[in-house]
Amino acid sequence: MAEMDNMGRLFFILSLPLILLLTLPLIQMTTEPGVDMLMQTLADKEVVMAISRSLGYSLAAGLIAFAMGTPLAYLLARKKIMGKKIIEGIIDLPIMIPHPVVGIAMLSIAGKNHPLGRFLSDMGVQIMGTGTGIVCVLIFVGLPFYINTVKAGFESVPVRLENASRTLGAGPAATFWRITLPLTWRHMVLGVIMCTARAISEFGAIVIVAYHPMTAPVMIYERFTAYGLKYSQPVAVWLIFLSFALFILLRMMSRSVHQHYR
Amino acid sequence: MIRLAHIGLELPGFALEDINLTIKEKDFFALIGPTGSGKSLLLEGIMGLMRFTSGTLHFNGRDMNALPVEKRGLAIVYQDFALFPHLDVTRNIVYGTRYHKISDPEIKERLDRLVDTLGLASVLGRKPHNLSGGEKQRVALARALILNPKVLLLDEPLSALDPVFHDGAKDLLKKIHRELDMTIIMVSHNFNDVMYLANRGAVIHQGKICQQGDITAVFEKPCSRFVAGFVGMKNIRPIGVKDGNLSAPDWALGIRLAAAPDNSHTHMGIRPEDILFEPAGNGPPVNRFRGTIAHIRNHGAFLDVRLETGSEVFDAIWPRVLLRDHDLCPGREVVFGFHPESVHTF
């Protein structure tokens, strides 16, 4: 490793408060419960179920974002469409608006007072208090992360490569399948991980739409308000471990994408 | 035969206007022009990657305008070669074969022949990022040629190459044209490359064709000041012509021409390589001047020499050997001249 010069040392000193702000609470939180307490928590079926739900719903949100967000990301990256900037602004909106507002907005169209709510109800689809509702809000909050990552991936593939494929006889679909997709799949995996990771931590929107079935963030909140810090901490620690593992995976994927295009 | 009639293409801030071109079978046709003149845009239009907004494009009598890119039977080699980075050389070369109903034995036979012709045997398993510029170009050519296209389009195929690969690549293109007996349309801004490779061509400037025809004729008889400058003619001066007699109001020297100029001509020019150094005074008996070397720019094999005679300035290109044999240097007085045939009017 290169030796740190004076500027490097100064920047390190300036960064230190931020590093401490991030690490100290986490270190305290993860070390406080002790291994026995953590293992006991893991033996609690409700905890396992809540974490499994968080994982399952988040992964479902990530996969739905992949299936439906990929065409949208391609359109935004490649085609001239009317109101493109407005669409991009709307996609970014969930990053900025308070997440309880997302939940309230979702409920307002899922209720009986809204034609869509009535239609869904007639079709037997319930949003309020169901896993379906939770997945819906998780897609809402996670979609910007998927779309923006994959759009950047499509933009990084030179149009000239797609044109070259067309000139060699491949149609638009074959070109997408044989050129565009292989060059962007890492971005798609990254996008799914980003979307899923964001969804795992979601609390504000979920608590409005579906307190039950209980996900891990809601359980942490419930145990904190009902029993205090000691009982909420172990669940939070397991959730932190899970998120940490996901982000390690994300970093490894990022490096892989970088090397691919080097 | 490819025929473009009254072709137009409008983009924000730029347009191709009333392009009329005829490219004959087996031509090596060059579209020449400075950067931003519209030559690559025209090539992409022929290929079908851009849609012409007016005019017709016919290939052997068949209207091509409505055909999508993949149905035109043309192949293109880009300036940056556009090799697929995730595929190795072999898979790059055979990429298009599945869309052209070519049998497996035929693919293998064509691949072997191209690998042999283009010297690609040692790089077949490599990915494009592990290839040199020259190797990339040969792979791009093989990828296009394996489909036996009716017409091969080359978009600045030599400009991305290191000088060390440049001449070899030119020879290769010439060999491909000669041996495969195919029509080639090449876009280039380098007239030296074009002179070596092409038999016919068109000069394009600001979206319009300025001159087209036999490439030697474009070189020797440019029709406008722009084309003259583009093909390397220098010493360009405005002239007046009345009843076949030349007057050059901005030029104090008397210039003799080989033939009476056309009354419509407004300029004359002399190629710098046609201005001859005459140490013994045994050059052309007319158009001979005594002057001083103002400066010399040494390009290695040849010299750019600026000569001043009175208030007039001539730019000449002389071989480097003169520098050694005659001790040429700025300030030195020399005799130079040019043949009446070297004076072109347009």
Residue of chain A with shortest Cα separation from B130: A262
Are the Cβ atoms of B96 and A170 closer than 8 angstroms? Answer: yes
Amino acid at B252: A
Give the sign of the dihedral formed by CA A178, CA A181, CA A182, CA A184: positive
Residues of B in Cβ contact (< 8 Å) with A165: 84, 95
Cα–Cα distance measured from residue A83 to residue A124, given in angstroms and rounded to the nearest whole number? 35
Are the Cβ atoms of B82 and A163 closer than 8 angstroms? Answer: yes
Residues of A in Cβ contact (< 8 Å) with B85: 161, 183, 261
The answer, yes or no, to whether ipTM is higher than 0.90 is no
Give the pair of three-digit tokens for residue A255.
């490096």
Kindly give the confidence (pLDDT) of every residue in chain B, 346 residues in length, as a single tens digit, with 9 standing for 90 and above. 899 999 999 998 899 999 999 999 999 999 999 888 999 999 999 999 999 999 999 998 889 988 999 888 899 999 889 999 999 999 999 999 999 989 999 999 999 999 998 889 999 999 999 999 889 999 999 999 999 898 999 998 888 777 777 888 888 889 889 888 899 999 998 888 899 999 999 999 999 999 999 999 998 888 888 999 888 888 988 888 776 667 766 666 677 788 878 888 888 899 999 999 887 766 667 888 888 999 999 888 888 999 998 888 999 999 988 877 888 889 988 888 888 888 888 8
Three-state DSSP class for residue A42: helix
Are the Cβ atoms of B49 and A165 closer than 8 angstroms? Answer: no
Beta-ladder partners of B6: none
Residues of A in Cβ contact (< 8 Å) with B75: 167-168
How far from B214 is each of A6, B21, B198, B201, CA to CA, in Å? 67, 13, 9, 6
Beta-ladder partners of B222: none
Give the sign of the dihedral formed by CA B129, CA B135, CA B141, CA B147: negative
Residues of A in Cβ contact (< 8 Å) with B99: 168-170, 174
Shortest Cα distance, chain A CAs vs residue B70, angstroms = 4
Are the Cβ atoms of A166 and B49 closer than 8 angstroms? Answer: yes
Amino acid at A255: R
In chain A, the N- to C-terminal Cα span, in Å, equals 22
Q: CB neighbours (10 Å) of residue B190?
A: 14
Give yes or no for B200 touching A (CB within 8 A).
Answer: no
Cα–Cα distance measured from residue B212 to residue B128, given in angstroms and rounded to the nearest whole number? 37
Q: How confident is the model at residue A45 (pLDDT cuts 50, 70, 90)?
A: very high
- Window 89-118 of B: residues touching A by CB (8 A cutoff) are 95-96, 98-100
Query: φ, ψ for residue B20 (rounded to 5)?
Result: -125, 120
The pLDDT assigned to B298 comes to: 87
pTM here is 0.80
Cα–Cα distance measured from residue B145 to residue B120, given in angstroms and rounded to the nearest whole number? 14
Cα–Cα distance measured from residue B39 to residue B189, given in angstroms and rounded to the nearest whole number? 9
The pLDDT assigned to A257 comes to: 58
Q: CB neighbours (10 Å) of residue B317?
A: 17
Are the Cβ atoms of A171 and B70 closer than 8 angstroms? Answer: yes
Question: Given the structure tokens 């900025």, which residue do they identify?
Answer: A96
Give yes or no for B75 touching A (CB within 8 A).
Answer: yes
Question: Given the structure tokens 């050389």, which residue do they identify?
Answer: B89
Residues of A in Cβ contact (< 8 Å) with B76: 164, 167
Give yes or no for B145 touching A (CB within 8 A).
Answer: no
What count of Cα atoms within 13 Å lies in the side-chain half-sphere of residue B217?
9
What count of Cα atoms within 13 Å lies in the side-chain half-sphere of residue B168?
12
Q: Residue B78 has what DSSP assignment? A: -
Give yes or no for B341 touching A (CB within 8 A).
Answer: no
Q: CB neighbours (10 Å) of residue A125?
A: 14
Give the pair of three-digit tokens for residue B21.
């071109």
**pLDDT tens-place string over residues A216-235:** 999 999 999 999 988 899 99
- Window 136-175 of A: residues touching B by CB (8 A cutoff) are 158, 160-161, 163-171, 174
- CB contact set of A140 (below 8 Å; sequence gap of 6+): A94, A102, A106, A205
Q: Which of A157, A166, A167, A256 to mutate to test the interface with B (most CBs of B within 10 A)?
A: A167
How many CB pairs below 8 Å do chains A and B form together?
56
Are the Cβ atoms of B76 and A160 closer than 8 angstroms? Answer: no
How far from A103 is each of A108, A118, A185, CA to CA, in Å? 9, 18, 31
Nearest to A160 among B78, B96, B144 (CB): B78
**pLDDT tens-place string over residues A171-211:** 999 999 999 999 999 899 889 988 998 999 899 999 999 99
